[in-house]
């Protein structure tokens, strides 16, 4: 298997739309709402779903929040695949944000995980305020301003998991691999059983062209939580990058992601059909 740099694939391996359990597929928007037909309408619908999900999360309505984030992911994914040149950085970040929030809502909804993550203590108010401010900037695609605010949040609370996680994600997207690696090592030490963190670390190694380590981390994420569709989906994508492509195993991984409640992904299905078996 060859090792070349696959930075374009870092986004999908860090976050995907395959975290969804079928129980949360009910959209928050009225069923009678017409399907968006323009890129701006689709973006507005995604933002509306994300905002409603945020509000439900603040009310601690975890299932409703999960449904909203899933609906937002649906529209953001359409934008990524149908309009890839339209505000690409902003759309991909909001896609990532909704995916991270969705996993958190599934955990709060008492979805079983054989090996749950270690409890993450709440950050002090000063750190929480900085994290909220940084998230608002990240949503608008302003990574340059968000990064120092997250650093301030970590200085206020060195154990703040969310701030550290977001900072690693920002550093990966802005090609600060040394900084991402340093922060990721600390997160891995403090939270060695967090499956989402393993996917983030897999994205870091993929950005460095290390497919072997990336695959190892994805498989470890699966071991930590065998019911996580995102890990199976990412494994399918990674197997297609290998030389030669592991088409049979990739198909099996994708089918497992669907059986676990992941949403069908047409681009991957087309690649699986088009990629010849070795």
Domains of the chain and CATH, by start: 118-192 (1.25.40)
Cα 72 to Cα 63: distance, rounded to the nearest angstrom: 14
Look at residue 277 in the predicted model and tell me its pLDDT. 66
Distances (CA, A) of 1 to 44, 214, 241, 242, 252: 43, 13, 9, 6, 20
159 burial via Cβ count (<10 Å: 0-12, 13-18, 19+): middle
Omega before residue 265 within 30° of 0, cis: no
Look at residue 109 in the predicted model and tell me its pLDDT. 61
- 3-class DSSP assignment, residue 22: helix
| CB 190 within 8 Å of CB 154 | no
Phi-psi region of 261 (alpha: psi -120 to 50; beta: other; left: phi over 0): left
Torsion of CA 23, 215, 118, 25, to 10 degrees: -10
pLDDT above 70 coverage of the chain, percent = 78
Cα 167 to Cα 147: distance, rounded to the nearest angstrom: 7
Our CA angle for 59, 62, 65, nearest 5°, is 80
At residue 26, what are phi and psi to the nearest 5 degrees?
Answer: -75, 120
Cα 197 to Cα 117: distance, rounded to the nearest angstrom: 10
Distances (CA, A) of 67 to 36, 64, 84, 178: 18, 5, 25, 36
Mean pLDDT by 10 residues, the chain (278 residues): 42 35 24 53 86 86 79 78 73 82 73 36 62 82 88 79 84 82 81 84 84 93 87 90 91 92 84 77
Write out pLDDT tens, residues 210-224: 899 999 999 999 998
- 3-class DSSP assignment, residue 276: coil
- 3-class DSSP assignment, residue 55: helix
Cα 92 to Cα 151: distance, rounded to the nearest angstrom: 22
Look at residue 30 in the predicted model and tell me its pLDDT. 27
82's tokens: 């149908």
Look at residue 75 in the predicted model and tell me its pLDDT. 81
């Amino acid at each position: 298997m060859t090792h070349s740099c696959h930075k374009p694939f870092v986004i999908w391996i860090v976050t995907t739309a395959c975290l969804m359990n079928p129980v949360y597929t009910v959209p928050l928007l009225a069923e009678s709402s017409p399907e968006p037909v323009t890129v701006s309408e689709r973006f507005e619908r995604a933002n509306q779903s994300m905002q409603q999900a945020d509000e439900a999360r603040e009310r601690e309505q975890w299932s409703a929040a999960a449904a909203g984030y899933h609906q937002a992911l649906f529209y953001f994914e359409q934008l990524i695949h149908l309009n890839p040149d339209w505000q690409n950085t902003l759309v991909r970040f909001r896609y990532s944000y909704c995916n991270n929030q969705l996993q958190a809502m599934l955990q709060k909804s008492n979805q079983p995980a054989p090996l749950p993550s270690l409890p993450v203590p709440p950050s002090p108010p000063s750190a929480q305020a900085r994290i909220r401010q940084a998230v608002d900037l990240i949503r608008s695609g302003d990574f340059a301003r968000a990064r120092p605010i997250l650093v301030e949040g970590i200085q206020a609370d060195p154990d703040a998991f969310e701030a550290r996680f977001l900072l690693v994600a920002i550093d990966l997207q802005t090609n600060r691999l040394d900084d991402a690696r340093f922060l990721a090592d600390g997160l891995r030490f403090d939270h060695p059983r967090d499956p989402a963190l393993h996917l983030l670390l897999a994205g870091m190694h993929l950005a460095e062209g290390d497919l072997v380590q990336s695959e190892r981390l994805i498989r470890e994420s699966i071991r930590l939580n065998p019911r996580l569709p995102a890990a199976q989906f990412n494994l399918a994508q990674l197997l297609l990058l290998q030389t030669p492509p592991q088409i049979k195993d990739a198909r099996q991984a994708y089918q497992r992601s669907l059986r676990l409640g992941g949403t069908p992904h047409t681009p991957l299905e087309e690649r699986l059909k088009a990629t010849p078996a070795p």
